[in-house]
Structure 1
């Protein structure tokens, strides 16, 4: 033990699924053992902290827009008429969708390697 390059030991507990995933990833990496694979991940791996709050807000906004579109479609089907105000409202709602989409995409971090 005294002649080892790495003196610090780490104990890791995994459930069956996690162990299976680790073993599959180790095989796919063609590394000689799990320790080498884990060291490589520690040194070169990335950790992603994903904030889903914007996505939830986006989905809520889309749901509201969808409800509005359904109400407009019902009104159009019930009367058999297409009103300019309804068409303009649909266009406005679609602009909100695109604006929200562009806003979300612009806030995504770019990954540089």
Structure 2
């Protein structure tokens, strides 16, 4: 006598294959055994009972933002050179103070520019 057929809604017709390293696979096997389930049952159970966190990443290809990022990098490089100079025993001069103030002023100007872009992006202007 043959086994009765399952309802169509209960039949499993799709295969899922995934790759993982040895450590993750061992962890999967261990957890399935601890739950007295096969690996397939464990994964199906996890799918039904676990919260899945979906992350969205919004990217924008805006030339102005790319330009600001480039400027931040240049200012950061200048600040690193200044820090290296002082860490090596450099003496502070009026020219050095002027450069530091200029770098800080540039950073604040760029900060306000970024804030303006954010407001425009959000439609607040």
**Which bracket does the TM-score occupy, shorter chain normalised?**
0.3 to 0.5
Q: Give the alignment's TM-score, normalised by structure 1.
A: 0.47
Which has the greater radius of gyration? Answer: 2
Q: Which has the higher helix share?
A: 1
**Structure 2 length as normaliser, TM-score?**
0.43
